[in-house]
Amino acid sequence: MSGICFVGYTDPFVRSGFVLTPVGVAVIIMCLFFIKGFRKLMHLSTFTSVPEHSRELKAYAVRMLAFSVMAFIIVVIFIVLDIKHMGERQDLQKNLRKLLMYGKDYGNGNIQEYVTS
């Protein structure tokens, strides 16, 4: 999702439309499929006549639920960090510009003599 041709590099509205919206839709669809699969496995485990098969199906259902929760957390973290990055973009550009102009003195706080404003 990031590379030379990243669509939302300069415009946060394009980024939200072409990156965050598809990721959000994919998360919703993913959650629906995981919920449907979890319910199906639990349903099958109740109708299995062999207790060992029932335990295996429940174990698969729990693993699938754990995987889906972890995947959901990762995607939510990505979305939150991306939104935070879009909100702080102006400050990041300003600080990067100052760092490039004043060099290593910018991080030390020794730029009072260079700054006129």
Is residue 75 within 8 Å of residue 23, measured between CB atoms?
yes
- Domain membership flag for residue 113: no
The alpha carbon of residue 4 and the mean position of all alpha carbons in its chain are separated, in whole angstroms, by 20
Boundaries of domain holding 81:
12-106
- Domain membership flag for residue 32: yes
pTM for this structure?
0.65
- Rounded percentage of the chain residues whose pLDDT exceeds 90: 9
pLDDT-derived band at 117, boundaries 50, 70, 90: very low
pLDDT tens track for 36-89:
988 888 888 888 788 888 888 888 888 988 998 999 999 999 889 888 888 787
* Nearest residue to 20 (alpha-carbon basis) of 43, 1, 37, 44: 1
The alpha carbon of residue 50 and the mean position of all alpha carbons in its chain are separated, in whole angstroms, by 41
Domain count, the chain: 1
- Domain membership flag for residue 47: yes
- Domain membership flag for residue 112: no
- Domain membership flag for residue 75: yes
Looking at the predicted structure, is the pLDDT value of residue 106 above 60?
Answer: no
CA distances from 10 to 35, 53, 55, 85 (A): 37, 54, 52, 12
Cα dihedral sign for 80, 83, 85, 88? negative
pLDDT-derived band at 9, boundaries 50, 70, 90: low
- Domain membership flag for residue 68: yes
- Domain membership flag for residue 7: no
At residue 116, the pLDDT reads 47
- Domain membership flag for residue 6: no
